[in-house]
Each structure stands twice: as structure tokens, then as C-alpha cells.
Amino acid sequence: MDKIKVGIIGSLSFIAEKHIEALKNLESDFDFYGVCDLDENRIRDQAFKYEIPFWTDYKEMLEYSEIDLYVVAVPNHLHRKIGQDVAKAGKDALIEKPITTNLRDADKLIKIFKKKKRNLFVMLQMRFHPALCMVKQAIDEGKLGRILGSSLNIFWFRSGEYFQKSTWKGVKKLEGGSLLNQGIHYIDIMQWLVGPVESVFARIFTLFHKIETEDTVQAILKFKNPAGESGIYSGAGGASGTLNFNIFTYPKNFECSLTIFGTQGTIKIGGEKMQEIKFWDVKNYPMPPIKKTAYILQTYVYADIAQSLRRGLRAEISGGEARKSLEIIEAIYRSAKENKEIRFPL
């Protein structure tokens, strides 16, 4: 079967290097076929390095009909517009997180890909981390009993320089928000493991950085809850959850953890980027060994996409899946602005 030809829009970005590495890891499935960015001198050098064509205008790139899958690795506020143009060109897209900066744009994007009968994928690679997959399996099999609560803590550091050297980070209209840009992977994992959210009450503040967006968030979440021990929904109602987020933890990233409390077990996933099991005590279920990854996590997203495109299987992270974490974050922002509990769906 022919390889899937891939072009990257925004190929000079830091995150695009992860995509290129993933594509190189899967050369039997993918053909890294073209790059596009605004800096003509640098993009020419990049194209020369990989011996592929380059463009400085993505619309001209879209006319290059041999490309099957377009990667959108540009600032957040450009995701919707470029994504829509990819769909209109009759092509598939893989968009970097977040899918868009707001729910309205996400719904428009999902709708046009559905209308054009094309595939929309989103890069939320943490779902493929072996430790997180192991926790997911334990919860799905009922090993923790009924989930009672969870606590997500993201304590990171972003310097003033981090925002000053960017033209869009920290700018509300362009970035969408610090929680959206920095924390969406882990909010996605929280809802993926604990279940869909029923309501949110939140507070946001900007206490340290000179930016338009927030640098700290506290939220209380109510979950609809997965099934209880007997396999049916418990009359006790859904699980509770807390979120604590900041990007002013001195002097560097300190913790990104999710603790899950069940009637038959407690698990804490932690480390700087939620990459290891810090605590595991589950009744009659010792912690299994964690598989080691052979490649960066983005590789497994591409492997999943290859299976979806070649065999018609449901992709793990479609536009609809990516919408879930965006809806939670938008509810957090809305709750803080309106000073009230926000119920789902929005």
C-alpha cells in the first residue's frame, strides 16, 4: 500500500520537530513530503535538509494534490482558519493542541470536516503514555471500584522572557489562555480517566506575569462518573474533582500530578509531566510493570492515524475527542467570569 504523504504547515516551530521525528520513526507508513513556513531562507534550508519541496504560503501548498495529510503546527488562533482550508481542499488534517481557542470555532471545524467527509485528528499524545494507559485499563476494569474523587495539580514555571519572546503567548485573542495552552493535555487525561464532567466552579487570576491571560486557576469539578462496583451507576452521584494550576512556581516546573480515589484503590500519577506512577494501592491488584516506549509519544499518535486511514478504524483522538477537554476549559473561564457554577453541555 502507498505511503501516506504528509506536509507540515508551521514546520519551523519547535513542536514541528516532534512531528518530523515521529514521521521518521514510521517511514514504512508515512512519506514526509513537504514543509511550509513564513521565513523563506530558513524554510529553504529545512527543505534542503530533508530533500523535500517547500512553500511560504500554505494555500499554495494545499494545491499540491499529492499530499494526503496536513499537519497544522501554528499558533493557536490560526488552527480554525487553516484547518477549515485543509478540509475545503478535500484533505485530512492533524492539528496541534488545542484544537482551537474556543468551543464555537471547534464546532465549526468539526462540522466542516464531517461535511467534506475528511478526517480531523488532534495531537493529544499523553493518551498513549504506557503508565496512563495502565491506569485507564485498571479503571475500565473496575479495579478501583467506584471513583469518588480526583485531584489534578499543575505547578509549573514560565518566565517573563517566555512570554516576551513570543508574539502570541499570553495574548488572550491569540493564545486563548494559559490553562488552555499549558494544561490541556492533563485536563484531557483527567476526563479520559475519571469520566465526563457535569459541572464546574472556578476562579482565575493573574498574580505574577504581565500578560492578558491567567497564570493561576482553581476549580471544583463534578463528574458524571463511570460505573460503580456492580457495573451500574451509583445512586451516590458522580465523583468530585479539584484542579490547581499555576505557572509561577519558583524556580522551575515542580509537579504535574493526578490522584484518583476509588472505593477500592488510590493511584497517583506524577512527575514533572505526569509521566510516572507515584503511588498505587489497589485492593487485590498489584501495580503491573509499565511498558517502556521505544519512541516519542507523538509516534504512537501517527501509528494510530495510519491504522485509521488504512483500515477505517476509529482514531483515538478525533476532533470530537479533543473537544471534550476544550469544553471543560471554556467552562472554567466562563465560571470565573460569571462567578457561578457552569453545567454541561455548554
Q: What is the DSSP string of 272-287?
A: TTT-EEEEEEETT-PP
Q: Judge whether 338 lies within some domain.
A: no
Residue located via cell numbers 488510590: 266
| Domain span holding position 159 | 129-282
Please determine, for residue 225, whether its predicted confidence score (pLDDT) is greater than 70: no
What is the pTM for the complete model shown? 0.95
Does residue 74 sit in the same domain as residue 200? no
Residues 71 and 7: their CA atoms lie apart, in Å, by 6
Q: What pLDDT is recorded for position 234?
A: 44
Q: Judge whether 216 lies within some domain.
A: yes
Mean pLDDT within 67-87 = 98
Does residue 51 sit in the same domain as residue 18? yes
Q: What pLDDT is recorded for position 149?
A: 95
Strand order of the β-sheet with 216-223 is 276-282, 265-270, 255-262, 147-155, 240-246, 216-223, 197-205, 342-343
Please determine, for residue 233, whether its predicted confidence score (pLDDT) is greater than 80: no
Q: Judge whether 288 lies within some domain.
A: no
Extended beta strands in the chain, E state: 4-9, 30-36, 54-55, 69-72, 92-96, 120-123, 147-155, 197-205, 216-223, 240-246, 255-262, 265-270, 276-282, 342-343
Residues 336 and 218: their CA atoms lie apart, in Å, by 9
Q: Would you state the torsion angle of the CA atoms of residues 68, 72, 78, 80, taken in this order, to the nearest 10 degrees?
A: 50
Strand order of the β-sheet with 120-123 is 54-55, 30-36, 4-9, 69-72, 92-96, 120-123
Contact indicator for 150, 259 with CB cutoff of 8 Å: yes
Does residue 107 sit in the same domain as residue 138? no
Q: What pLDDT is recorded for position 140?
A: 94
Q: What pLDDT is recorded for position 305?
A: 98
Please determine, for residue 332, whether its predicted confidence score (pLDDT) is greater than 70: yes
Largest Cα–Cα distance in the chain?
63
Taking residue 248's Cβ as centre, other Cβ atoms within 10 Å add up to 15
> Strand pairing of 240-246 and 147-155?
parallel
Q: What pLDDT is recorded for position 230?
A: 41
Q: Judge whether 230 lies within some domain.
A: yes
Residues 274 and 182: their CA atoms lie apart, in Å, by 13
pLDDT band at 237 (very low <50, low <70, confident <90, very high): low
Q: What pLDDT is recorded for position 1?
A: 64
Cis peptide before 251 (omega within 30 of 0): yes
Mean pLDDT within 44-59 = 97
CATH at residue 302? 3.40.50.720
Does residue 158 sit in the same domain as residue 266? yes
